[in-house]
Homo-oligomer: A and B are copies of this chain.
Amino acid sequence: MTYCVGILLASGMVMLSDSRTNAGVDHINTFRKMSRFERPGERCLVLMTAGNLAITQAVVSVLREAECAGDGRTSLLTAENMFEAARHVGDTLRAVYARDAESLSAFGIDFNASLILGGQIAGDPPRLFSIYAAGNFIEATRETPYFQIGESKYGKPILDRVLRWDTSLDEAAKCALISMDSTIRSNLSVGLPLDLVTMEANVLALRSQVLVDADNAYFSMVRNRWGSALRDAFDAIPNPDVGLS
Protein backbone atom coordinates (compact mmCIF):
# COMPACT_ATOMS: atom_id res chain seq x y z
CA MET A 1 0.00 0.00 0.00
CA THR A 2 0.92 3.66 -0.06
CA TYR A 3 -0.28 6.93 1.30
CA CYS A 4 0.32 10.24 -0.48
CA VAL A 5 -1.33 13.61 0.02
CA GLY A 6 -1.02 16.75 -2.10
CA ILE A 7 -2.32 20.09 -0.81
CA LEU A 8 -2.96 23.25 -2.86
CA LEU A 9 -3.07 26.52 -0.94
CA ALA A 10 -3.22 30.21 -1.75
CA SER A 11 0.43 30.37 -0.73
CA GLY A 12 1.66 27.30 -2.61
CA MET A 13 1.70 23.54 -2.31
CA VAL A 14 2.66 20.72 0.05
CA MET A 15 3.26 17.14 -1.11
CA LEU A 16 3.95 14.19 1.19
CA SER A 17 4.46 10.53 0.34
CA ASP A 18 5.43 7.39 2.23
CA SER A 19 7.77 4.75 0.84
CA ARG A 20 6.39 1.32 1.69
CA THR A 21 5.27 -1.20 -0.89
CA ASN A 22 3.95 -4.64 -0.24
CA ALA A 23 3.03 -7.67 -2.24
CA GLY A 24 1.55 -9.60 0.64
CA VAL A 25 2.65 -9.02 4.21
CA ASP A 26 5.76 -11.13 3.70
CA HIS A 27 7.06 -9.05 0.82
CA ILE A 28 7.53 -5.50 2.02
CA ASN A 29 9.99 -3.09 0.47
CA THR A 30 10.95 0.55 0.46
CA PHE A 31 10.33 2.42 -2.78
CA ARG A 32 9.95 6.16 -2.85
CA LYS A 33 6.75 7.34 -4.54
CA MET A 34 7.69 10.93 -5.33
CA SER A 35 9.38 12.19 -8.52
CA ARG A 36 10.35 15.77 -9.34
CA PHE A 37 10.57 17.45 -12.74
CA GLU A 38 12.19 20.85 -12.41
CA ARG A 39 13.67 23.78 -14.24
CA PRO A 40 14.17 26.19 -11.38
CA GLY A 41 12.70 29.60 -12.16
CA GLU A 42 10.68 28.20 -15.05
CA ARG A 43 8.78 25.15 -13.71
CA CYS A 44 8.58 22.85 -10.75
CA LEU A 45 6.44 19.69 -10.89
CA VAL A 46 6.07 16.88 -8.39
CA LEU A 47 4.44 13.53 -9.17
CA MET A 48 3.33 11.01 -6.54
CA THR A 49 2.17 7.51 -7.36
CA ALA A 50 0.13 4.71 -5.78
CA GLY A 51 -1.00 1.33 -7.03
CA ASN A 52 0.82 -1.47 -8.80
CA LEU A 53 4.52 -0.63 -8.53
CA ALA A 54 5.45 -2.09 -11.92
CA ILE A 55 2.85 0.18 -13.55
CA THR A 56 3.77 3.34 -11.69
CA GLN A 57 7.51 2.81 -12.16
CA ALA A 58 6.89 2.28 -15.89
CA VAL A 59 4.95 5.56 -16.04
CA VAL A 60 7.77 7.44 -14.34
CA SER A 61 10.37 5.80 -16.59
CA VAL A 62 8.48 6.76 -19.74
CA LEU A 63 8.04 10.32 -18.42
CA ARG A 64 11.81 10.49 -17.77
CA GLU A 65 12.55 9.15 -21.26
CA ALA A 66 10.35 11.84 -22.81
CA GLU A 67 12.08 14.42 -20.61
CA CYS A 68 15.51 13.34 -21.81
CA ALA A 69 14.62 12.75 -25.47
CA GLY A 70 14.73 16.48 -26.33
CA ASP A 71 13.21 15.67 -29.72
CA GLY A 72 10.31 18.09 -29.54
CA ARG A 73 7.87 15.54 -28.08
CA THR A 74 5.80 16.76 -25.17
CA SER A 75 7.39 16.09 -21.83
CA LEU A 76 6.90 17.42 -18.33
CA LEU A 77 9.77 19.81 -19.08
CA THR A 78 8.19 21.15 -22.27
CA ALA A 79 4.45 21.16 -21.44
CA GLU A 80 3.18 24.74 -21.77
CA ASN A 81 0.98 24.63 -18.72
CA MET A 82 -0.08 22.31 -15.91
CA PHE A 83 -3.19 21.14 -17.75
CA GLU A 84 -1.03 19.98 -20.65
CA ALA A 85 1.34 18.36 -18.14
CA ALA A 86 -1.55 16.44 -16.54
CA ARG A 87 -2.73 15.34 -19.98
CA HIS A 88 0.79 14.14 -20.76
CA VAL A 89 0.88 12.05 -17.59
CA GLY A 90 -2.58 10.67 -18.45
CA ASP A 91 -1.41 9.81 -21.97
CA THR A 92 1.67 8.10 -20.56
CA LEU A 93 -0.52 6.03 -18.24
CA ARG A 94 -2.65 5.05 -21.26
CA ALA A 95 0.47 4.02 -23.19
CA VAL A 96 1.51 1.77 -20.29
CA TYR A 97 -2.03 0.40 -20.17
CA ALA A 98 -1.94 -0.36 -23.90
CA ARG A 99 1.30 -2.26 -23.45
CA ASP A 100 0.70 -4.10 -20.16
CA ALA A 101 -3.00 -4.38 -19.23
CA GLU A 102 -3.79 -7.47 -21.26
CA SER A 103 -0.83 -9.40 -19.90
CA LEU A 104 -1.70 -8.37 -16.35
CA SER A 105 -5.30 -9.39 -16.92
CA ALA A 106 -4.16 -12.88 -17.96
CA PHE A 107 -2.78 -13.22 -14.43
CA GLY A 108 -5.92 -11.75 -12.83
CA ILE A 109 -4.13 -8.50 -11.96
CA ASP A 110 -6.06 -5.23 -12.21
CA PHE A 111 -4.49 -2.23 -13.90
CA ASN A 112 -4.31 -0.33 -10.64
CA ALA A 113 -2.61 3.08 -10.53
CA SER A 114 -3.45 6.51 -9.18
CA LEU A 115 -1.27 9.60 -9.32
CA ILE A 116 -1.13 13.11 -7.93
CA LEU A 117 0.57 15.77 -10.05
CA GLY A 118 1.18 19.19 -8.56
CA GLY A 119 3.30 22.12 -9.53
CA GLN A 120 3.62 25.37 -11.35
CA ILE A 121 4.78 26.37 -14.82
CA ALA A 122 5.63 30.03 -15.54
CA GLY A 123 2.51 31.86 -16.72
CA ASP A 124 0.14 29.44 -14.99
CA PRO A 125 -0.83 29.44 -11.28
CA PRO A 126 0.09 26.46 -9.08
CA ARG A 127 -2.26 23.59 -9.91
CA LEU A 128 -2.88 20.17 -8.43
CA PHE A 129 -4.36 17.15 -10.23
CA SER A 130 -5.54 13.69 -9.24
CA ILE A 131 -5.00 11.31 -12.17
CA TYR A 132 -6.90 8.03 -12.42
CA ALA A 133 -5.81 4.71 -13.94
CA ALA A 134 -7.85 5.51 -17.06
CA GLY A 135 -5.68 8.59 -17.65
CA ASN A 136 -8.49 11.05 -16.87
CA PHE A 137 -8.05 13.52 -14.05
CA ILE A 138 -9.64 16.10 -11.78
CA GLU A 139 -8.19 19.34 -10.47
CA ALA A 140 -8.14 20.70 -6.92
CA THR A 141 -10.01 23.91 -6.18
CA ARG A 142 -10.31 26.34 -3.29
CA GLU A 143 -13.22 24.31 -1.92
CA THR A 144 -11.41 20.98 -2.19
CA PRO A 145 -7.77 21.90 -1.78
CA TYR A 146 -6.25 18.47 -1.37
CA PHE A 147 -6.04 15.01 -2.93
CA GLN A 148 -5.04 11.70 -1.38
CA ILE A 149 -4.06 8.44 -3.05
CA GLY A 150 -3.52 5.00 -1.56
CA GLU A 151 -4.67 4.31 1.98
CA SER A 152 -6.55 7.57 2.38
CA LYS A 153 -9.24 7.06 5.00
CA TYR A 154 -7.37 7.00 8.31
CA GLY A 155 -5.71 10.33 7.57
CA LYS A 156 -8.68 12.16 6.07
CA PRO A 157 -10.48 13.49 9.18
CA ILE A 158 -7.60 15.77 10.24
CA LEU A 159 -7.28 17.18 6.70
CA ASP A 160 -11.01 17.92 6.60
CA ARG A 161 -10.91 19.66 9.94
CA VAL A 162 -7.78 21.79 9.43
CA LEU A 163 -7.08 22.58 5.78
CA ARG A 164 -8.43 25.81 4.33
CA TRP A 165 -7.42 27.74 1.24
CA ASP A 166 -5.55 30.26 3.42
CA THR A 167 -3.74 27.70 5.61
CA SER A 168 0.00 28.46 5.62
CA LEU A 169 2.52 26.13 4.02
CA ASP A 170 4.04 25.23 7.38
CA GLU A 171 0.67 24.48 8.96
CA ALA A 172 -0.30 22.39 5.97
CA ALA A 173 2.98 20.45 6.22
CA LYS A 174 2.26 19.81 9.91
CA CYS A 175 -1.28 18.71 9.03
CA ALA A 176 0.01 16.36 6.32
CA LEU A 177 2.48 14.80 8.78
CA ILE A 178 -0.27 14.24 11.37
CA SER A 179 -2.45 12.70 8.67
CA MET A 180 0.45 10.42 7.73
CA ASP A 181 1.05 9.51 11.39
CA SER A 182 -2.59 8.42 11.81
CA THR A 183 -2.27 6.32 8.67
CA ILE A 184 1.02 4.69 9.67
CA ARG A 185 -0.39 3.80 13.08
CA SER A 186 -3.44 2.09 11.58
CA ASN A 187 -1.98 0.45 8.47
CA LEU A 188 1.22 -1.57 8.57
CA SER A 189 1.61 -1.26 4.80
CA VAL A 190 2.33 2.48 5.01
CA GLY A 191 5.74 3.35 6.39
CA LEU A 192 8.81 5.55 6.74
CA PRO A 193 10.79 7.20 5.29
CA LEU A 194 8.60 10.01 3.99
CA ASP A 195 9.28 12.51 1.24
CA LEU A 196 7.98 15.97 2.06
CA VAL A 197 8.26 18.94 -0.26
CA THR A 198 6.82 22.43 -0.11
CA MET A 199 6.57 24.94 -2.97
CA GLU A 200 5.80 28.62 -2.59
CA ALA A 201 3.47 30.06 -5.25
CA ASN A 202 5.24 31.88 -8.11
CA VAL A 203 8.76 30.96 -7.03
CA LEU A 204 8.94 28.07 -9.53
CA ALA A 205 11.34 26.06 -7.41
CA LEU A 206 11.02 23.87 -4.35
CA ARG A 207 10.96 25.78 -1.08
CA SER A 208 11.97 22.72 0.93
CA GLN A 209 12.51 19.02 0.44
CA VAL A 210 13.08 16.68 3.33
CA LEU A 211 13.47 12.95 3.72
CA VAL A 212 11.73 12.20 7.02
CA ASP A 213 13.03 9.03 8.62
CA ALA A 214 12.67 7.50 12.07
CA ASP A 215 15.39 9.83 13.39
CA ASN A 216 13.65 13.02 12.29
CA ALA A 217 13.24 15.09 15.46
CA TYR A 218 10.32 17.15 14.22
CA PHE A 219 8.26 14.15 13.11
CA SER A 220 9.03 12.32 16.35
CA MET A 221 7.89 15.37 18.29
CA VAL A 222 4.68 15.60 16.22
CA ARG A 223 3.94 11.92 16.80
CA ASN A 224 4.42 12.15 20.54
CA ARG A 225 2.67 15.45 21.07
CA TRP A 226 -0.25 14.66 18.80
CA GLY A 227 -0.93 11.42 20.64
CA SER A 228 -0.89 13.13 24.04
CA ALA A 229 -2.78 16.20 22.75
CA LEU A 230 -5.53 13.95 21.40
CA ARG A 231 -5.68 12.16 24.71
CA ASP A 232 -5.91 15.50 26.57
CA ALA A 233 -8.62 16.74 24.20
CA PHE A 234 -10.49 13.50 24.80
CA ASP A 235 -10.19 13.83 28.57
CA ALA A 236 -11.38 17.45 28.48
CA ILE A 237 -14.77 16.42 27.09
CA PRO A 238 -17.14 15.37 29.88
CA ASN A 239 -18.23 11.76 29.96
CA PRO A 240 -21.87 11.11 29.12
CA ASP A 241 -24.47 10.56 31.81
CA VAL A 242 -26.08 7.20 31.50
CA GLY A 243 -29.11 8.72 29.82
CA LEU A 244 -27.04 10.85 27.41
CA SER A 245 -29.61 13.60 27.81
Contact = CB atoms under 8 A, between A and B. Distances in A.
Interface of A: 153-154, 156-158, 160-162, 168, 170-171, 173-175, 177-178, 182, 185-186, 196, 198, 207-208, 210, 212, 216-219, 221-222, 225-227, 229-234, 236-245
Contact of A208 (B226, B234, B244): B244
B218 A244 contact: yes
B231 A230 contact: no
Find the residue from A219, A229, A237 having the highest chain B CB count within 10 A. A237
Nearest to A174: B239
16 contacts: A153-B153, A154-B157, A158-B230, A160-B186, A161-B185, A162-B234, A168-B239, A171-B239, A175-B234, A177-B240, A208-B243, A210-B243, A221-B237, A225-B237, A226-B233, A230-B233
Q: Which of A174, A196, A240 has the most CB of B within 10 A?
A: A240
Nearest to A198: B242
A207 B240 CA distance: 13
B236 A162 contact: no
A156 B245 CA distance: 26
A222 B234 contact: no
Contacts of A229: 233-234, 236-237
Given A170-B240, A237-B225, A243-B210, A157 B178 contact: no
Secondary structure class of chain A's binding surface, majority of residues = helix
Nearest to A172: B239
Q: How many identical chains are in the complex?
A: 2
A183 to B, nearest CB: 9
Given A154-B156, A221-B237, A226-B237, 18 more contacts: A153-B154, A153-B186, A157-B186, A161-B230, A162-B231, A170-B239, A173-B240, A177-B240, A178-B237, A198-B242, A208-B244, A210-B243, A218-B244, A225-B237, A229-B237, A230-B230, A232-B233, A233-B233
A170 to B, nearest CB: 4
Given A153-B153, A231-B161, A217 B237 contact: no
A217 B241 CA distance: 11
Contacts of A239: 168, 170-171, 173-174
B231 A219 contact: no
Nearest to A235: B171
A233 B235 CA distance: 12
